[in-house]
Amino acid sequence: MDPPAVGEAVKRVIVALDPARRGDVDRLLDMARLVCGVGAGIKVGLPMLALGGSEALAEAARLCKGGGLRVLDLKLADIGYIMRLAAESLSRGFDAAIAHAFVGYEGGLVELKKTLDGLGARLVLVVSMSHPGSREVLDPCLDKLLAVARRVEPWGVVAPATRPEVVARVRETLPTTVILSPGVGAQGGKPGDAICLGGADYEIVGRMVAGSPDPVSALRGVAEYIAARCPEKLLHSSTGNGPS
């Protein structure tokens, strides 16, 4: 049996399954089943769509059913009508879908949210990103992007594990919105930076887990590291968001 903080931490880690070549698709689909029973869930997006087609997306959602959050990451950024068409054809079977906050409310995100509501999926908005280029346009506009998020009232927002101070700002502005934080491992964020320092609910980990020969052990290793850093925070979640 895992210590309670490790058991809680592992349910805060979402594994990103991004194939680099066609030959990775089946391996990552097998991994979806494995990690969904252990962690918080999976995230799939454009690499899976490009290399495995819409069938691979649907299969990932099916394999993870009942085992955790299934997040579709197409980072939609278009007029509402087009985002609606994309969501209607690709987001069935997923619990949440991701779009960019910069699209704005009128004629854009309001329409996507309505579509996702109808499909039983939740909306997640990107308000900041994990790569250095996020400082060029997105981060100087963070207050405006957070204002869009306040208006749209998504279930979740994406903020970078590579810059926990940004996560903390997002947490301050949106105290009850779920925060998902990518950038752990391959991009330099340490496990726990976003949850322990920034107040995120979930950390998204891709290559560090999916690239490991033993992804379940790697996932547990990430959870142990997070649990050792802030057991109190995990056991007494201040936002009450946690996994649902």
Strands 178-182 and 122-126: unpaired
66: annotated binding-site residue? no
Closest to ligand O7M by CB, 49 vs 231, is: 49
Residue 48 Cβ vs ligand O7M, minimum distance, rounded to whole Å: 10
Residue 46 is encoded by which pair of tokens?
Answer: 């454009």
Distance CA 199, CA 141 (A): 21
Could you tell me which of 187, 158, 148 has the C-alpha nearest to residue 14?
158
Distance CA 223, CA 203 (A): 10
81: annotated binding-site residue? yes
Residue 8 Cβ vs ligand O7M, minimum distance, rounded to whole Å: 21
Residues with a catalytic annotation lie at 75
Closest to ligand O7M by CB, 91 vs 130, is: 130
* Orientation of helix 142-152 relative to helix 164-173, angle to 10°: 40
Site for ligand O7M, rule CB under 6 A? 16, 18, 43, 45, 73, 75, 98, 126, 129-130, 158, 160, 182-187, 204-208
Could you tell me which of 196, 125, 199, 189 has the C-alpha nearest to residue 169?
199
185: annotated binding-site residue? yes
Strands 122-126 and 156-158: parallel
191: annotated binding-site residue? yes
Residue 135 Cβ vs ligand O7M, minimum distance, rounded to whole Å: 12
Beta bridge partners, 202, equal: 180
Residue 238 is encoded by which pair of tokens?
Answer: 């201040």
Closest to ligand O7M by CB, 3 vs 112, is: 112
Residue 158 Cβ vs ligand O7M, minimum distance, rounded to whole Å: 4
* Closest residue by beta carbon to ligand O7M: 206
183: annotated binding-site residue? yes
Closest to ligand O7M by CB, 6 vs 218, is: 218
Residue ranges at the known binding site for substrate: 18, 43, 73-82, 130, 182-192, 206-207
